[in-house]
Amino acid sequence: MVVFAPTHDAIASSGWEAFKRGEFYEARSAGRTQGDAEGLSLACRAGLVLGGFTETDEAAIRSLHGAIRDCDKALKLVPEHYFAKMSLAIALSFEGKRLKRPSYPARARSYLLELIEAEPNNPLGYGALGAWHSEVSAAGFFARITLGARRKKASLNFEQALLLGGTDYALRFEHVKFLARGNKADRKKALDLAQSLLKNDTDMAFDLLLKRRCSQLVEALKLDNKRVVRAAVAKAAAFQNAIPEREMSRFPLDDLIPVKTK
């Protein structure tokens, strides 16, 4: 999964312009200084970009844990803050992948289902859930059995997101990655969609970062070698340089805003 770009809520943050320019440290600092839900939500997403794409080793995990704290603080101020909850779900998915602990992606899925229930016409919730199923199902048999992730569910959620008009660059890149992990016909679709994405003009630094990774994935897809493509998809993911659990402690789930009970 990758963090989806900020939209209407982020514009209320003093760090928005810095985020848009790619000055992610400045955006995180400004969001934290602002201190309200919008600022903290943007700080969370800036931290995910920093840890996921520019930092390595302990610095990457410190940014990941900082992002989790920022989004949790935002949600404790505004419990229904859409982008804070989405970013928290994405962050927990990364933490779970690093730790190989199913409790983290399980909590992430619960948050994403809450988003879809709250805003059933928002494509980003379906896109994020599609990416969740895509990533968890790719993690292996144990993850699929334990968490119920399925490629079919990923496909249905991506289709719903696109049907609802999803245009977020990260959403569409996640769809490309999902298709690239599939069979020969899926890989052909992935190549077509990825080449289309490369033609999209954008002035968002984060989108341009993803665009470079999309370009690398296109080169692999052109070879139509399943093993090469899957390696390229793995390389395109965030937090590739995050250190394993034995070298740094996990973020405690009990500290976070609880999942709603029915």
pLDDT value of residue 240: 87
CB 171 within 8 A of CB 206: no
Of the chain, the percentage scoring pLDDT greater than 90 comes to 82
SS3 content of the chain, % helix, strand, coil (to 5): 75, 0, 25
Domains along the chain with CATH numbers:
8-99 (1.25.40.10), 100-166 (no CATH), 172-237 (no CATH)
Letter for the amino acid at 127?
A: G
pLDDT value of residue 1: 62
pLDDT value of residue 247: 64
Residues in the chain: 262
pLDDT at position 235 over 70: yes
CB 132 within 8 A of CB 4: no
pLDDT value of residue 9: 52
Residue 260: count other Cβ atoms within 10 Å of its Cβ: 12
C-alpha 126, offset from chain centre: 12
Please indicate, yes or no, whether the overall pTM of this predicted structure exceeds 0.75: yes
Show Cβ contacts of residue 74 under 8 Å, excluding neighbours closer than 6 positions: 37, 38, 40, 41, 44, 81, 84
4: nearest Cα among 158, 201, 139, 172: 172
CB 158 within 8 A of CB 130: yes
Show Cβ contacts of residue 110 under 8 Å, excluding neighbours closer than 6 positions: 259
pLDDT average, residue stretch 211-217: 97
As given in the structure block, the two tokens for residue 174 are: 């996640």
As given in the structure block, the two tokens for residue 41 are: 């939500």
SS3 at position 114: helix
pLDDT value of residue 255: 87
